[in-house]
Amino acid sequence: MKKLFADTAFAVILFVGSVYLWSVADGFQRFPRYKGIDMDFWPKILLVVVALLALAQIAQNVLNIRSRLAAGKVREEGGEAFNWAKLGASAALVVAYFIGLQTVGFMIATVVFLFFATRLIGYSNRVLGLVYPFAFTALVTLAFVKLLELPLPRGMGPFETLSRMFY
């Protein structure tokens, strides 16, 4: 049932969003030469269809909720185990990695990210868990810098100086 409610909420967001974006499209610059097929023409067609489909999805979900209530099936059947804490921590770690790439550069940020990410997922082999971040970072650095000659983030200030010693 929770999933149905979440689904319905998303459909409502889509409907409200399409109304909002329609109002934004009304404020687009006008070009008299393209009257009838101006900048807002295509987005508005799409938004109408999105709104109608969102309403249809809401109606379908309401019917499903009513059927489930009528059948007395309020609890979810089966369903996967979902770890919100782990997801939140993973997302925070990925964002921190993104910030780290720009501030401390690729090598340091990647080693730190891999170290904490493997711990977060619960990898138990301590030795491999310690070696892997360094080995993988070295491999990717070699592949990008030497083999493909593609840029890697260097970071800022002293970290940039440190990165330049390697690439």
Partner 1 sequence: MIDGFLTASQYMLSHPLTFVFIAVGMIWGIAFGALPGLTGVVGVALLIPFTFGFGPIEGLLLLGSVYVGSTFGGSISAILFNTPGSPEAACTGLDGYPLAKRGEAGKALGIALAASAIGGVFGSVVLMLAAPPLARVALSFGPAEYFALAVLGITAIASIGANSVFKALLAGLMGLMIATVGIDPLTGGSRYTFGNDMLLSGIGFIPAIIGMFALSEVLVRFSERLVAGERITKVSTTLPKVREIAAMKGTLTRSSILGTIIGVLPGVGATTAAFMSYSEAVRWSRHPEKFGTGMPEGIAAPESANNAAVGGSMVPLLALGIPGSAATAVMIGGLTIHGIVPGPMLMVQNKELVYSVFIGMLVANLLMIFFGIKASRYFAKILDAPYALVGPGIVVLCMTGVYALRNNVMDVVVMLVFGAFGFLLRKLDYPIAPLIIGLVLGPVAEISLRRALMLSNFDWSAILTRPIAGTLLALSVVSLIYGLYGQFRRQRAARRAMLAAA
Vertex 163 angle, CA 159 and 95, to 5°: 65
Binding status of residue 164 toward partner 1 by CB under 8 A: no
DSSP string, 122-160: T---HHHHHHHHHHHHHHHHHIIIIIS-------STHHH
Q: How many CB atoms lie within 10 A of CB 32?
A: 6
For residue 164 the two structure tokens come to 């330049």
CB 118 → partner 1: shortest distance, Å?
5
User: Which residue number, 16 or 121, has a Cβ lying nearer to partner 1?
Assistant: 121
CB 43 → partner 1: shortest distance, Å?
5
Q: Could you give the CA distance from residue 18 to residue 6 in angstroms, rounded to a whole number? A: 18
CB 161 → partner 1: shortest distance, Å?
19
Site size toward partner 1 (CB under 8 A) is: 74
Q: Binding to partner 1 (CB under 8 A): which residues in 83-112?
A: 83-84, 86-87, 90-91, 94-95, 97-98, 101-102, 106, 110
Q: Binding to partner 1 (CB under 8 A): which residues in 17-56?
A: 21, 24-25, 28-29, 31, 34, 36-39, 41-43, 46-47, 49-50, 53-54, 56
